Amino acid sequence: MRRWLPGLLLVSPSIILIAVFVYGLLGWNFKLAMTDKHDEIAEIPGNFVGLENFTGIWSEERWGLSVRHAIVFTLVFVGGALVLGWFLAFLMEKGIRAESGFRAVYLFPMAVSFIATGVVWRWLMNSATGEHAVGLNRLFHYVGLDFLQWQWFRDPDWGMAAMAIPAIWQMSGYIMALFLAGFRGVPEELREAARVDGCSEWGVYRHVVLPMLRPVTLSALIILGHISLKVFDLVVAVSGKQIITDVPATFMWTAVYDSHDPAKGATIASYIVLSVAVFVVPYLIWDARKGKRS
């Protein structure tokens, strides 16, 4: 008892704070989502309605649209950041001049907030075309590639794919750092053994390097996945609270602060938490089992 008691006393303040301000508020949010408190002004606590809010929200057209936008954003953002980050790490791993300089350039966007990134990319992705074009459309006009001019995030079908471009720009450097650490962690003896066994350079990557990068890929997937599912500040900075770029987080903001509907806001927040848990919980289980095996 004497051995673990001092450690428990040291960490108990953080345990209490996390229990109250994380799990306690999560529980309060789920409780509110199961009530009919759709008016924040009324002082009544709301009656228990079970999962009625969770099922009823799917009948709203805006909710379905925001979920579709979140899925498109997640697929493009996660896929783009993984591919670009892996490719940049691969170039670094092959050895290029001024590697430290390139690393600093690629990692620099991580120091910028999503709000600042959104403000800059809002100008770059301005939807004006022709003589009135600015940003990237203006660049395409100067180089004679007017056919590439696009409405960007204002496109009704692929606007959320364009919205993922600033997020890819910001996070790909971080993913590059993860993959570069993974590449450098593969022992050179294993590569040499594969070459001695007759593997080509591509074979070395396919049979030795890439399999050993699976934990890094999984970690990157978890990090990018939970960022994409709760994205809010980037979307608001680029387009504001527009239906055409609506995601669950902006819908939740509108429900709570514009429509003054606490129960609906809590319902949307619960869905966001559950969607993030789908990514995070399996990873935590896998990491715990891996720790036991090692």
Cβ atoms of 251 and 67 within 8 Å: the answer is no
Give 188-201 pLDDT, tens digit per residue.
899 899 888 888 88
pLDDT band per the 50, 70, 90 thresholds, residue 278: confident
Alpha helical stretches, state H, the chain: 5-18, 25-33, 52-56, 61-93, 99-107, 114-124, 135-142, 159-184, 188-196, 201-204, 210-212, 214-229, 233-239, 248-253, 262-293
Average pLDDT over residues 98-119: 86
Closest CA relative to residue 221, chosen from 35, 81, 27, 107: 81
Average pLDDT over residues 265-280: 91
Give 57-85 pLDDT, tens digit per residue.
999 999 999 999 999 999 999 999 999 99
What backbone torsions phi and psi does residue 48 show, to the nearest 5 degrees?
-70, 125
Task: Name the percent of the chain lying above pLDDT 70.
Answer: 98
pLDDT reading at 243 higher than 90: no
For tokens 């109250």, the residue is: 20
CA distances from 273 to 62, 75, 167, 190, 267 (A): 19, 18, 21, 41, 10
Q: 268 or 149, which is more confident?
A: 268
Q: How buried is residue 241: exposed, middle or buried, by Cβ count under 10 Å (0-12/13-18/19+)? A: middle
Rounded Cα distance, 172 and 88, in Å: 8
pLDDT reading at 1 higher than 70: no
- pTM for the whole thing? 0.87
What backbone torsions phi and psi does residue 35 show, to the nearest 5 degrees?
-120, 170
pLDDT at position 42 is 65
Give 23-46 pLDDT, tens digit per residue.
999 999 999 999 998 887 766 778
Q: 265 or 43, which is more confident?
A: 265
pLDDT reading at 292 higher than 90: no
- Mean residue pLDDT of the chain comes to 89
pLDDT at position 144 is 86
Give 187-240 pLDDT, tens digit per residue.
989 989 988 888 888 888 888 898 999 889 988 998 999 899 889 999 999 988
pLDDT at position 43 is 67
